[in-house]
Structure 1
Amino acid sequence: MSPSEKIPCQVFRLAREASHYVASEIAAFIRQRSDEAKMCVLGLATGSTPVSVYNELVRLHREEGLSFKNVITFNLDEYFPMQPNELQSYVRFMNEHLFDHIDIERGNIHIPDGTLAEEDVPEFCQRYEEQIAEVGGIDIQLLGIGRTGHIGFNEPGSGRNSRTRMITLDRVTRGDAASDFFGEEYVPRRAITMGVGTIAGAAQIYLLAFGEGKAQVVAQSVEGPITPNIPATYLQEHPNTRFVLDEAAAENLARLRCPWVLGDVEWDDATIRKAVIWLATQLDKPILKLTEEDYNEESLQELLATVGSAYEINLRVFRHLQSTITGWPAGKPEHAKQPGDRRQTYDDVFPKRVLIFSPHPDDDVISMGGTLIRLADQGHEVHVAYQTSGNIAVFDDDAIRFAEFAAEFNRHFNIDHERVDSLESHVEQFLKHKTAGQVDSPEVQSIKGMIRRGEARAATRYSGVPSEKLHFLDMPFYETGRVRKKPLSEEDIAITVDLLEKIKPHQIYAAGDLSDPHGTHRTCLSAVFQACNRVKEQDWYHKCVVWLYRGAWQEWSPHQIEMAVPLSPRELMRKRIAIFKHQSQKDKALFPGSDPREFWQRAEDRNRATSEFYDALGLAEYEAIEGFVRWNGDAEGIL
């Protein structure tokens, strides 16, 4: 445990490894209690974070005989009001992900009741506390953490001794839940939740957090002061709490952010770059102005002793960063090559076949629109593969408007008007009577998918990519009509493999933006990685380079970037216009996530911030920069 950490943290490379660890701990305790002829009491959480834990517990039940006959469960919370069969119900969530697949006694399952009359809630909450006490308390409590630092639905301001109760949800929490309810206006304003004191009564607590989006609140909870503004900090007072993290969620902890401050480190190239950039940022100095005194005073004496003088280290890191900057992301033609060019130009073949994978129909232009335009302008054969339809992210009003247009068009030209009138009537009537969170009908889903396709064509046409180079994959895992998707299947991977074998690209670009709150980017990236590993022995793939882009939800840090593509003011404006072609996502996206800015604003702000960072480090000043990291071929990559 790092001396800066007030709660023990266990960090795994991958989220799946962390989930399997927690599942194995729970399984071992269940078996121990079974051998002792005792009951095991589990406190359970919902949301995307614990799903892999539940999947592993189900596997252990099916394949290794883990029985849940001696298990009693208490769930943390439930929205209020909420019917148990609704899509967003935590009763339904637990049944779908765990209870329907194991041998637990139904009478041993306890979940806060969202169907109660409001006046009955206080009595229910008191009884919930009594039921926990009657079974001897919770043995193992599973937790996630919200961006506000909430555990359960204990929002900022919750007291350390609070018990099960009705609460009003924080604005940020409701915003984060908006995607599950197809709009923030449909998210319940209240919930029933165990209190902080109830949670703290558990004998053992495992808090799981995955992804860069949780890194800041994890660091605040683990290393910061105890404060009611971040309820998770109360866990510092619990004797048996453990945070179980992937590397992305742990990246703001001192042991990963600046490990040299805590003790000895192994000085490889990546760590040296990270340390020097950290030092320059700390002191607000360009890299080439850092002195030996700067290194010594900021706990980097060992780096000087191991690697050499400040001058040598500064130059080494500066030259590396300089070499990442290129205006030719897919290589230079012969006439543009210069003697002694150290930059990574990858120009053994020119022009190249380039395949850009876009999880949603707008990720290509949002995250790497400037580079996409540059690739097309420089004469490369650019293909774009839209991995999902993106149909759930279209407002109902847009679907009605397009159905009306189709009907009017066909009436005007007398084309099968009866059938189109019927479709228009269905769309209008369905959406008029649609309830909060209801899945769209197949007809409505198709119209919304066509809207997204049309916008993608408009954006890439403006960017210089002809429509015949677009590939709409409509991967099956996505097509549920719900925010919650199906697991990645063999069919999804086969679709991706077929496209790779058809195009045989020299370059592949894929979204490494894993903070996407809906998980689509992570699933789409997994499909690309798995497909690449299936074709890696083919001759064409030996010369293929895979680049990962970010931008919609986060950005690569300068010490990570391996290719930096600078954008001029005109190119940045062209990128903006390309993003504007996605009119259904303009002004207000249906699922904006936690960032209130429009996607074009996020993209420009991040691209400008990267260029400003390079400038502050002493490199050339550009209007904006799009950054990329090269995938090393690891079968699991950064997932």
Structure 2
Amino acid sequence: MENQILQFRGELDEAKLYYQPSDEFDKTVKTRYEKMPADIFATAEKGAKWVAHEIANLIKAKAENNDSCVLGLATGATPLGVYAELVRMHKEEGLSFKNVITFNLDEYYPMNNKSAQSYNYYMDDVLFNHIDIPREQINVPDGEVSKEGIFNYCSEYEAKIDSFGGLDMQILGIGRTGHIGFNEPGSQLDSKTRLIMLDALTRRDAAKDFNGLNKVPKAAITMGVGTIFKAKRVILMAWGEGKAPIVKKALEEGQSDSVPASYLQRHNDVQFVLDVPAANELTRVKQPWLVGSVEWDRYWIRKAVVWLCNKLEKPVLKLTNRDYNDNGLSELLAWYGSAYEVNIKVFNDLQHTITGWPGGKPNADDSNRPERAEPGQKKVLVFSPHPDDDVISMGGTLKRLVDQSHEVHVAYQTSGNIAVADDEAIRYLSFVKSFAQTHDTNEAICQV
């Protein structure tokens, strides 16, 4: 019984992925839905190291010709691995940055440049303080420039980039709104360095770094899309499943100011560098049968049929031969001979995952169920990304596990302190204090 379950889990965990082309022809086939070149790495660490070595090779090539290397740099979590590898290469391999001139993409506004949340501080902390780049060759937007002088400051920043002949290479991340730099949706292709208001989603994503949404600046100074476009080469990085939906929009859908990163489709030397989770919504990763052959094991059969059901809004047992043939699944049909055979296999497979005993039913033959029957009572650990997600997403399952005498624990992966604004928390505490005083409850409560 356990062997069957473990075998099924192994099939899911070790499912073969088909995102890596075997040759140039295969690459053309697999990436035909993608409008820009993209390389997918098994991990973010491997992708970051590749980008760092591309930067290092450019620096060395420029140094050999006694030329300056003008780099456009990004901030945030995405390029941290790149900067760590560049620092390592400087310290262990003698990579010199003396011929490098840097221009950072953006900075919050207003922002104290010495604040731990500023990008000036960030760049010193993760890169500049650890390499031999001359300080006068570092350029990061000034978050302290006066409001009256900000227009001229942005124009001068743009002109300074142009005075060096533009950027040799620009590295980018991508925000969940599709922004590059802080060019939020609505930014135009010819936009230049300027002050811009931040999207609400961008500010929410930054709230964890500022210990609260109300502390996140509402504006930023950013290079424009047009400024980025003047770079001779652009590398955009994205790590993690949170970026997968916007990566798909930028890579596989048309150009739109609602996704500023999609403008990069017009650049003549751009490359996306992704880890597998960030690429998870791309066709070659999520529906590989649409761009090539698949070894039809249990995992891919289930995945393909569920996808087809969702696409056609039909139940499994109602799928027909034509449904399979018209949606790129004729190969699967050929394996099993008819839609009926595939449908029954997947229907039974899915049905056997349904149980009223999520922890396994004691003294029962549950060989086809996802959880083993023995031992009868188990210790269950539920990971919740945010307080209340556990109850909202699986409250019924939690109750059933408790009712069936399992030992259940919930691990919250965030404190939740940024979910509630300070003033709301203070208002609630004031109410508790007032209530306690009115009803003469415990003195300790009154001291809140």
For residue 31 of structure 1, what is the aligned residue in structure 2?
A: 60
Count of residues paired in the alignment: 414
Q: Secondary structure at the match of 1:244?
A: strand
Residue 163 of structure 2 aligns with an amino acid whose one-letter code is: E
Structure 2 vs 1, CA of residues 340 and 26 (structure 1 numbering), >3 Å: closer, same or farther? closer
Tell me the equivalent position of 2:150: 121
* Cα distance, 1:43 vs structure 2: 0.5
User: What SS class does the counterpart of residue 118 from structure 1 fall into?
Assistant: coil
Paired residue for 2:14? Answer: none
Q: Which of 132, 138, 141 is equivalent to 2:167?
A: 138
Shift of 1:169: 2.5
The 1-side partners of 2:125 and 2:139 are apart by 15
Distance (whole Å) between structure 2 residues aligned to residue 170 and residue 387 of structure 1: 25
How much has 1:273 moved relative to structure 2? 1.5
Quick check: 1:300 aligned with 2:326? no
Which amino acid in the other structure matches residue 422 of structure 2? D
Cα distance change of structure 1 residues 366 and 52 upon mapping to structure 2, 3 Å threshold? farther
Cross-structure match for 2:320: 291
Deviations 1:577-601 (A, max 9, x none): xxxxxxxxxxxxxxxxxxxxxxxxx
Distance 1:399 1:62 in 2: 49
* 1:381 aligns to 2:410 (yes or no): no
Structure 2 counterpart of 1:95, which letter? D
Given that residues 178 and 186 in structure 1 are in contact (C-alpha distance below 8 angstroms), is that contact kept between their aligned partners in structure 2? yes
1:236 Cα deviation after fit: 0.5
Unaligned runs of 5+ in 2: 1-27
Deviations 1:124-161 (A, max 9, x none): 22221222122222111111112222211112222212
Deviation of 1:34 after TM superposition, in Å, equals 2.6
* 1:287 Cα deviation from its structure 2 partner: 1.0
1:271 aligned to which of 277, 294, 300: 300
Q: Secondary structure at the match of 2:111?
A: coil
Following TM superposition, by how much is the alpha carbon of 1:393 offset from its aligned partner in structure 2, in angstroms? 5.1
Pairs within 5 Å for 1:52-71: 52-71=81-100
Structure with higher RCO (Cα < 8 A, 6+ apart): 2
Q: Please show how residues 503-514 of structure 1 align to structure 2 within 5 Å.
A: none
RMSD: 2.8
In structure 1, the residue matched to 2:268 is 239
- Indicate how the Cα distance of structure 1 residues 14 and 368 shifts in structure 2: closer, same or farther if over 3 A, else same: farther
Contact 1:326 1:345 (C-alpha < 8 Å) held by counterparts: no
* Structure 2 counterpart of 1:84: 113
Q: TM-score, normalization: structure 1?
A: 0.60
Does 2:182 match 1:156?
A: no
1:94: which partner in 2? Answer: 123
Amino acid at match of 2:81: S
Q: Bigger CA drift: 392-401 or 1-10? A: 392-401
SS state at 1:216 partner: helix
Kindly provide the amino acid, as one letter, of the partner of residue 118 in structure 1: K
Q: Is the 8 A contact 2:384 2:412 kept in 1?
A: yes
TM-score of the two chains, using structure 2 as the length reference: 0.84
Q: Cα distance, 1:325 vs. partner?
A: 1.5
What corresponds to 2:396 in structure 1?
A: 370
Whether 2:378 is the aligned partner of 1:352: answer yes
Q: Distance in 2 between matches of 1:414 and 1:296?
A: 73
5 Å-filtered alignment, 1:247-262, equals 247-262=276-291
Q: 1:193, CA displacement in angstroms?
A: 1.1
Give the equivalent residue in structure 1 for 2:43: 14
Distance verdict in 2 for CA 1:394–1:4, change over 3 Å: closer
Distance 1:168 1:393, change over 3 A: closer
1:469-618 superposed matches below 5 A:
none
Quick check: 2:195–2:219 contact (8 Å CA) kept in 1? Answer: yes
2:212–2:418 CA contact under 8 A, matched in 1: no
Percent identity of equivalent pairs: 54
Distance in 2 between the 1:38 and 1:27 partners?
A: 14
Structure 2 counterpart of 1:238, which letter? Answer: H
| Cα drift, residue 206 of structure 1 | 0.8
Distance 2:390 2:257 in 1: 41
Q: 1:203 to 1:300 in 2, by over 3 A?
A: same
1:10-38 Cα distance to aligned partner (Å, 9 max, x none): 11222222222212211222222233332
Query: Over residues 500-542 of structure 1, what are the superposed CA-to-partner deviations in whole Å (9 max), with x where a residue is unaligned?
Result: xxxxxxxxxxxxxxxxxxxxxxxxxxxxxxxxxxxxxxxxxxx
Q: Structure 1's 312 and 231: CA in aligned 2 closer, same or farther, altered over 3 A?
A: same
Distance apart, 1:264 and its partner CA: 2.4
CA shift in 2, pair 1:343/1:268, >3 Å: same
Secondary structure at the aligned position of 2:149 is classed as helix
1:306-352: per-residue Cα shift (whole Å, max 9, x none)? Answer: 34422221111111111111221222122xx2x67632341121122
SS in 2 for 1:324: coil
Indicate how the Cα distance of structure 1 residues 171 and 412 shifts in structure 2: closer, same or farther if over 3 A, else same. Answer: closer
CA distance in 2, matches of 1:92, 1:45: 13
Amino acid at match of 2:263: Y
Distance 1:293 1:144, change over 3 A: same
Distance 1:84 1:29 in 2: 29
Q: Report which stretch shifted further, 170-179 or 343-352.
A: 170-179
- The code of the aligned residue for 2:302 comes to R
When residues 181 and 104 of structure 1 are mapped into structure 2, their CA distance, relative to the original with a 3 A threshold, is same
Displacement of 1:353 in angstroms is 2.6
CA contact (8 A) 2:229 2:267 kept: yes
Deviations 1:92-120 (Å, cap 9, x if unpaired)? 12122222222221111101112111221
Q: Is the 8 A contact 2:172 2:236 kept in 1?
A: yes
2:4 maps to none
1:545-589 alpha-carbon deviations (Å, 9 max, x no partner): xxxxxxxxxxxxxxxxxxxxxxxxxxxxxxxxxxxxxxxxxxxxx
Q: What is the match of residue 321 of structure 1? A: 350
Q: Secondary structure at the match of 2:346?
A: helix
Segment drifting more, 15-24 vs 358-367:
358-367
Deviation at 1:67, TM superposition (A): 2.3
- Counterpart Cα distance in 1 of 2:133 and 2:318: 65
CA distance in 1, matches of 2:249, 2:53: 28
Code of the aligned partner of 1:320? D
Where does residue 6 of structure 2 map in the other structure? none
